[in-house]
Amino acid sequence: GESVGLHLPTLSVQEGDNSIINCAYSNSASDYFIWYKQESGKGPQFIIDIRSNMDKRQGQRVTVLLNKTVKHLSLQIAATQPGDSAVYFCLITGGGNKLTFGTGTQLKVEL
């Protein structure tokens, strides 16, 4: 089955700094990668996605990088703000029906 993991369960950053959240996967057939943000008491919200034919995709203050060689995905948040405090999940799909979330990284923004 799919194996999805995160390198850091908790990440603390200073307001204004950049944040990098990582995700590793094992299924080389994976072809679609999504990052979600989950605030306390709420459902996950879509942030950004990337397909396997791309290495990088940028959104507003967020960038997703995909390294298919080492099966690694990262989410970069520029100029991190207090409102960015949440749990971030990667979702890997492809090669089957089950969509598997990573354990999650708790991002804490310190003022």
Where along the sequence are the contacts to other proteins (CB under 8 A)? 32, 34, 36, 42-46, 49, 89, 91, 93-94, 97-104
- 41 vs 111 by CB, closer to other proteins: 41
Q: Work out how close the CB of 60 gets to other proteins at its nearest, in angstroms, rounded to a whole number.
A: 17
Written as one string, the DSSP assignment of 64-107 is: EEEETTTTEEEEEESS--GGG-EEEEEEEE-SSS--EE---EEE
Q: Quick one: which H or E segment has residue 25?
A: strand 19-25
- 60 vs 98 by CB, closer to other proteins: 98
Tokens of 73: 């995905």
Q: What angle do CA 89, 7, 92 make, to 5 degrees?
A: 40
- 43 vs 83 by CB, closer to other proteins: 43
Q: Work out how close the CB of 77 gets to other proteins at its nearest, in angstroms, rounded to a whole number.
A: 19
Q: Work out how close the CB of 51 gets to other proteins at its nearest, in angstroms, rounded to a whole number.
A: 11
